[in-house]
């Protein structure tokens, strides 16, 4: 696995001046967080963000390896960047440095350097705090491996204490890695073993965000509810304990967390949903399949009924909670009967929103050699059927909000003049006219109607 690879053509940074940084993020919220932190470590070197890669002195592709399509997109983007880099050089402009970061970098670093010579740096997810240093290195032998196998805590320790924020919501990574080894998934191989940040560091970062106007924090982790960070009192803190401490931070009104594994949903965390006003009534709890046979092949270590029972206990603690999930269709050997079990589970649970994916074989994972692939047309038909059912449930959940008054945290301007867009406690997008002066605030909104992807309402606050 690759941690950092550098080519010799990297230019040393000159004295801090405004230099343009373009970061393209693929994949999950954890990558969004990582991209923000990369911008934070590069800011002291004079890097300011640009939206146009053609203008950028430094381009970073922060990549995702979870499905084949996601990884292939990176190579096609690199082809375009190579042309931009050559055009800049031909025009005599400052050279463009190109880096590939994230999980594709971790899994295929050497392959990237071989396939696309325009790439100057390859940086794995645990090494991006080294970006400033890497930019100062010149005359390095191409492909040299440096700083291998960083532990996650080195990265977090090296981050600037103050983060750049963009609006009233922020992501905060508290946990990384995965020990679950679902048979289809690359995460345990690209992100390494489960590791949790110390609670005091998380609390300090949260307070810093709140000082800058953040009202809602989403705690992130590949298995966030397996959080077991060192507490300031010397005890190991669970996610429930961390949420209770965060709920005490003045000014922090909303706490969310994602993504969770059903087996790490402790009684304490379930109870916290009934007790903490700041813990939002929304839970992303992937199940992947409704067939016990497929769940066993997936090495999920939970069954269909235990998941349904778990949802029941969570709803007892917080009856209005919105449940979300992830599903994979077309896992090797999945029969019509298995797929019917998935549709049945969706009907039993009732989802407010969900993500569904076609199974994508990932090299090195046990499922990739399980054989008996589901024919592509069958898998696609199943995906469409599942998505139609999930969309029906999502639309029904949104429509059911009509006439209710929901607290909305306004995040940004909408497309219409003076329109603002915010989020309900259930993570629904809410559009309100004449509300752009309310951005950054939580205001009661009467919902006029709900549709497939959003709600429309009128604000009742000042």
Where does this chain bind ligand SAM (CB under 6 A)?
A: 28, 66-67, 184-185, 187, 222-223, 259, 261, 286, 288, 326, 328, 357, 359-360, 362
* x-marked contacts with ligand SF4 along 161-180 as a string, rule CB under 6 A: -----------------x-x
Q: How many CB atoms lie within 10 A of CB 76?
A: 8
Tokens of 11: 């230019």
Q: Single out the segment in contact with ligand SF4 by CB under 6 A; choices: 51-59, 82-90, 185-193, 349-357.
A: 185-193
With the C-alpha atoms ordered 445, 448, 450, 456, is the resulting torsion angle positive or negative? Answer: negative
Under 8 Å between Cβ of 406 and 452: no
Which of ligand SAM, ligand SF4, none does residue 181 bind to, with CB < 5 to 8 Å depending on kind?
A: ligand SF4
What backbone torsions phi and psi does residue 186 show, to the nearest 5 degrees? -90, -10
Which CB atom, from 223 or from 360, has the smaller least distance to ligand SF4? 223
Beta bridge partners of 5: 122, 145
Minimal distance, residue 394 CB to ligand SAM, in Å:
17
Tokens of 350: 């009732």
Asked whether position 185 contacts ligand SF4 by CB under 6 A, the answer is: yes
Which of ligand SF4, ligand SAM, none does residue 304 bind to, with CB < 5 to 8 Å depending on kind?
A: none
Instruction: List binders of ligand SF4 among 220-249 (CB under 6 A).
Output: 222-223
Which of ligand SAM, ligand SF4, none does residue 131 bind to, with CB < 5 to 8 Å depending on kind?
A: none
Contacts of 417 (CB under 8 A, 6+ apart): none
Question: How deeply is 140 buried, as exposed, middle or buried, from its count of CB atoms within 10 A (0-12, 13-18, 19+)?
Answer: middle
Which of ligand SAM, ligand SF4, none does residue 360 bind to, with CB < 5 to 8 Å depending on kind?
A: ligand SAM
Minimal distance, residue 173 CB to ligand SAM, in Å:
13
Residues 44, 181, 267, 405: which binds ligand SF4 (CB under 6 A)? Answer: 181
Under 8 Å between Cβ of 217 and 170: yes
Which of ligand SAM, ligand SF4, none does residue 283 bind to, with CB < 5 to 8 Å depending on kind?
A: none
Asked whether position 182 contacts ligand SF4 by CB under 6 A, the answer is: yes
Minimal distance, residue 105 CB to ligand SAM, in Å:
16
Asked whether position 188 contacts ligand SF4 by CB under 6 A, the answer is: yes
* Residues 22, 345: Cα–Cα separation, whole Å: 42
Give the interface size with ligand SF4 as a residue count (CB under 6 A). Answer: 10
Asked whether position 261 contacts ligand SF4 by CB under 6 A, the answer is: yes
Asked whether position 192 contacts ligand SF4 by CB under 6 A, the answer is: no
Minimal distance, residue 255 CB to ligand SF4, in Å:
21
Which CB atom, from 178 or from 352, has the smaller least distance to ligand SF4? 178
Beta bridge partners of 412: 421
Minimal distance, residue 187 CB to ligand SAM, in Å:
6
Minimal distance, residue 116 CB to ligand SAM, in Å:
24
Under 8 Å between Cβ of 341 and 313: no
Minimal distance, residue 394 CB to ligand SF4, in Å:
22
Which CB atom, from 181 or from 355, has the smaller least distance to ligand SF4? 181
Minimal distance, residue 428 CB to ligand SF4, in Å:
25
Which of 354, 360, 359 shows the shortest CA–CA distance to 339? Answer: 359
CA 9 to chain centre: 32
Which of 455, 408, 416 shows the shortest CA–CA distance to 434? Answer: 416
Under 8 Å between Cβ of 221 and 174: yes
- The greatest distance separating any two alpha carbons of the chain, rounded to the nearest whole angstrom, comes to 66
* Residues 286, 316: Cα–Cα separation, whole Å: 19
Minimal distance, residue 427 CB to ligand SF4, in Å:
20
Instruction: List binders of ligand SF4 among 384-423 (CB under 6 A).
Output: none
Distances (CA, A) of 395 to 392, 398, 419: 5, 5, 23
* Residues 343, 214: Cα–Cα separation, whole Å: 39
Minimal distance, residue 457 CB to ligand SF4, in Å:
35
| Coarse DSSP helix, strand, coil percentages of the chain, rounded to the nearest 5 percent | 40, 25, 40
Which CB atom, from 188 or from 330, has the smaller least distance to ligand SF4? 188
What backbone torsions phi and psi does residue 324 show, to the nearest 5 degrees? -125, 165
Interacting residue ranges for ligand SF4, rule: CB under 6 A: 178, 180-182, 185, 187-188, 222-223, 261
């Amino acid at each position: 696995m690759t941690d950092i690879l550098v080519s010799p053509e990297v230019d040393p940074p000159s004295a801090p001046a405004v230099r343009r940084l373009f970061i393209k993020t693929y994949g999950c919220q954890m990558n969004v967080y990582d991209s923000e932190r990369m911008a934070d470590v590069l800011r002291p070197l004079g890097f300011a963000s640009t939206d146009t890669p053609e203008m950028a002195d430094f381009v970073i592709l922060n990549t995702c390896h979870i499905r084949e399509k996601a990884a292939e997109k990176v190579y096609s983007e690199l082809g375009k960047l190579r042309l931009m880099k050559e055009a800049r050089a031909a025009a005599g402009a400052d050279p463009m440095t190109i880096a590939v970061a994230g999980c594709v970098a971790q899994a295929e670093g050497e392959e990237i350097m071989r396939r696309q010579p325009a790439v100057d740096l390859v940086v794995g997810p645990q090494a991006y705090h080294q970006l400033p240093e890497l930019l100062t290195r010149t005359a390095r032998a191409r492909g040299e491996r440096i700083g291998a196998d960083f532990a996650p805590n080195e990265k977090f320790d090296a981050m600037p204490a103050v983060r750049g924020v963009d609006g009233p919501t922020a992501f905060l990574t508290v946990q990384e890695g995965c020990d679950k080894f679902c048979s289809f998934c690359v995460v345990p191989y690209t992100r390494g073993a489960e590791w949790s940040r110390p609670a005091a560091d998380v609390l300090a970062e949260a307070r810093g965000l709140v000082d800058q106007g953040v009202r809602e924090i989403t705690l992130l982790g590949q298995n966030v509810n397996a959080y077991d960070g060192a507490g300031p009192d010397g005890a190991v803190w669970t996610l429930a304990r961390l949420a209770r401490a965060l709920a005490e931070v003045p000014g922090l009104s909303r706490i969310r967390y994602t993504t969770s594994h059903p087996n790490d949903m402790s009684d304490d965390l379930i109870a916290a949903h009934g007790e903490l006003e700041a813990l939002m009534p929304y839970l992303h709890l992937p199940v992947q399949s409704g067939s016990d046979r497929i769940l066993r092949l997936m090495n999920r270590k939970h069954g269909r009924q235990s998941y349904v029972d778990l949802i029941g206990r969570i709803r007892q603690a917080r009856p209005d909670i919105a449940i979300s999930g992830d599903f994979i269709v077309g896992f090797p050997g999945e029969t019509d009967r298995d797929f019917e079990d998935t549709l049945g589970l969706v009907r039993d649970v009732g989802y407010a929103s969900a993500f569904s994916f076609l199974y994508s074989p990932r090299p090195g994972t046990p499922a990739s050699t399980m054989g008996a692939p589901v024919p592509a047309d069958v898998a696609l038909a199943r995906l469409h059927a599942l998505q139609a059912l999930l969309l029906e449930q999502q639309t029904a959940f949104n429509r059911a909000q009509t006439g209710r008054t929901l607290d909305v945290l306004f995040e940004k301007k909408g497309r219409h003049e003076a329109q603002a867009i915010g989020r309900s406690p259930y993570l629904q997008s809410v559009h309100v006219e004449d509300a752009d002066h309310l951005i950054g605030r939580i205001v009661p909104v009467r919902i006029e109607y709900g549709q497939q992807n959003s709600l429309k309402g009128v604000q009742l606050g000042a």
